[in-house]
Chains A and B, each alone.
Chain A
C-alpha cells in the first residue's frame, strides 16, 4: 500500500471518529480510563528520564562552559531553555511514542485479530469513536501535562546535580533560572506537546486498528507504529521550530 493510500485511510479513520456517542457516560468512562492508562502508566518513566536528563544537562553544560567571563548562572539559563524547548517535549514524547504508542497499537491490534472490534461493530457501536477518539483525546490532555511535569523535574534535576557536584550553588542556579525567561518558550513547548500527543496516539491507533493477520502482525504493526511516530515527531519538531522560532529575534 503506497504512502498516499495509507494517508487517505488515516484521514478517513480520523473523520470516522466523529459521530454521536451511543452512550455519553460510557465514552466518558473510557476517556478517563485512557487518561489513567496513558498518564499514570507513563508517569514513572517520565519522572526518571526527566530528572536524569536535567542532571546530565547541567553537568555537560558546565563542562563546556570554560570561559571565566561567563557567570555560572548561565548554566541554569541554558539548562532551563534546553529542557523547556527541546528535552521535555521532544525527548519525553519520543519515549512516550514507544511506551504509549506500542501499547495502543498492541491493544487495538489484539482486539482486531481476536474479533473484539467486530463484536463491538455488531452491537452497533462506532468502534472508531469508542476505541480511538478517547485515546487521542486522553493523549491531548495528558501528554502536555506530562511534558510540564517533565520540564519542572528536569530543571529540578539539573539544580540538584549542580548543587551536589559543587558546580554552582542553589542560589546561583535560581538566579540564572529567572534570567531572560521568555514565557513564549513555554507556549512553544506546549504546542509541541499537543502536536506530539496527537502523533503518539493517532498513528499507533491507525496501525493497530487496521492490522490483519495474527500475533506476528500485531508485533510488526506495533514496531512500525513506534518507528513512524518517532519519525513524525522529529519531522514535526523541525517544522514547528521553523514556523514558531524561525523568525523570532532570539533565533
Chain B
C-alpha cells in the first residue's frame, strides 16, 4: 500500500500539486486521471522520487519515503517497477539485455538463471522471439510490453505506469490494460496508473483519483465514476456529445426507464 499525505509541489510561483492525499491499495489498479496540466504526472514523479515534494509524506508500507536516506531509497526502489510513457528502453541494448539489466545490476544469478527469468517475464507479457531485437525494431505495443517485462523482472511490490496507452491503437491499449490488471492481481502488487484514456478508466479503474488544477477533485471506482455528480469530472469524462448521450442512455437504462437490449431488438426487426 502506498499512502500519500498532504503533498504539495510548486515550480517557481506555479503550484502544481496542492495538498493531495490518497491511498493506493495493494492488489488493485489505482488510476490517477485528469486533463493535461492537472498535476497527475508530477504527483506520480513525486511518488517515485523523481521530484521532491515541497511538503507532505509518502509512505510505502508504512515507511516515509521522503525521510529515507540514499541507501534506504535505493533498497526501496528495487521494489518499484515503472513503465514510462515512451517505454524508456535502452536504445543500445537488445530486448533481452534491457530486461536483464536490473538482474545484472542487482542479483548475483548466473547467465542461465537470468535468461530463464527474462524468458519467464517475456512469456508473461506474451512476447516471443524478440530477445535479440533492438527497441527500434519492434512496434510501440511491443515496446510497452517489454517495458512492463523490465518493470516486473525483479518481482516489484509497486508498479507505476505513466500513460501506458499513449500512442497505441484501441485494441493494443486494451491488451496492455488487461496485462496490467492481470499482473496486478497475479503478483498482488500496488499498481498506480497515470492515464487520461477513458477505456482504461472503465476497464481497470479499481480506485480512481481525479486531479484538477493540482487538487484531488474526486475519488472512487470505475463503477461509481459514471454516476458521479462532480461537474468537472463529468466534463472531463464525457467530453464529447456522443459520450454524454451514451451516459444519459446508460443512466436511463440503470433507472429502468429504457431497455437498450429490447430497443435494439425492435430496431433490428
Contacts and interface: CB of A to CB of B under 8 A. Distances in A.
Q: Do A and B bind each other?
A: yes
B82 interface: yes
A119 B85 CA distance: 11
B91 interface: yes
B77 A122 contact: yes
Contact of B88 (A22, A23, A26, A119): A119
A118 B104 contact: no
A1 interface: no
A110 interface: yes
Interface string A12-48: 0000000100110010000000000000000000000
Contact of A119 (B76, B82, B104, B106): B82
Contacts, number: 54
Interface string B18-56: 000000000000000000000000000000111000000
B88 A115 contact: yes
Interface string A88-125: 00000000000000000000001000111011011111
B77 to A, nearest CB: 3
Contacts of A122: 48-50, 77, 80-82, 160
Interface residues of B, number: 26
Nearest to A25: B104
B105 to A, nearest CB: 5
B70 to A, nearest CB: 7
B84 A118 contact: yes
B90 interface: yes
A19 B70 contact: yes
Nearest to A117: B88
A23 B108 CA distance: 9
A207 to B, nearest CB: 19
A110 B70 CA distance: 26
A123 B48 contact: no
Interface of A: 19, 22-23, 26, 110, 114-116, 118-119, 121-125
9 contacts: A19-B70, A26-B104, A116-B89, A121-B49, A122-B82, A123-B106, A124-B73, A124-B75, A124-B77
User: 7 closest pairs, A vs B, by CB?
Assistant: A124-B77, A115-B88, A119-B88, A124-B74, A115-B84, A122-B82, A23-B105
